[in-house]
């Protein structure tokens, strides 16, 4: 079993839709959770960062963490064609500068006009 599971998609939605992206994990030591967006042939770009359980909102993006279920989500409201990309969840057990991230496989999202 992989430490982090993520549905690879592709997920296709019409413009304006609410998108839900999810990851599950098995390592209960994970406390730091991130979502990255990666456009084709580019490096990942940090979207959201959360610590422990709870919600965090930033513009059209909301990140949720449920540590009891080992489940994290990223919601995108009013999705735009420019949101079309691969979304990677990442997590870490250790704080600070030497932490290593464990990534999901990424979900490819396509927002259509």
Binding residues (CB under 8 A) for other proteins: these are: 6, 8, 32, 34, 36, 41-46, 49, 51, 88, 92, 94-101, 103-106, 108
Tell me whether residue 13 or residue 101 sits nearer to other proteins (CB atom).
Answer: 101
C-alpha to C-alpha distance for 105 and 5, rounded to whole angstroms: 7
Query: What is d(CA 66, CA 43) in angstroms, rounded to the nearest whole number?
Result: 27
CA–CA gap between residue 12 and residue 21 (Å, rounded): 12
Query: What is d(CA 26, CA 85) in angstroms, rounded to the nearest whole number?
Result: 26
Nearer to other proteins, 18 or 46 (CB): 46
Q: Which is nearer to other proteins, 18 or 93 (CB)?
A: 93
């Amino acid at each position: 079993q992989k430490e982090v599971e993520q549905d690879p998609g592709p997920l296709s939605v019409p413009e304006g839709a609410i998108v839900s992206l999810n990851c599950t994990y098995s390592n209960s030591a994970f406390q730091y959770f991130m979502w990255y967006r990666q456009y084709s042939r580019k490096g990942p770009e940090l979207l959201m960062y959360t610590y422990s359980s709870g919600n965090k909102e930033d513009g059209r993006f909301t990140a949720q963490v449920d540590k009891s279920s080992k489940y994290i989500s990223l919601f995108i409201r009013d999705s735009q064609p420019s949101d079309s990309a691969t979304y990677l969840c990442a997590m870490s057990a250790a704080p600070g500068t030497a932490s290593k991230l464990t990534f999901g496989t990424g979900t490819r999202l396509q927002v259509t006009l």
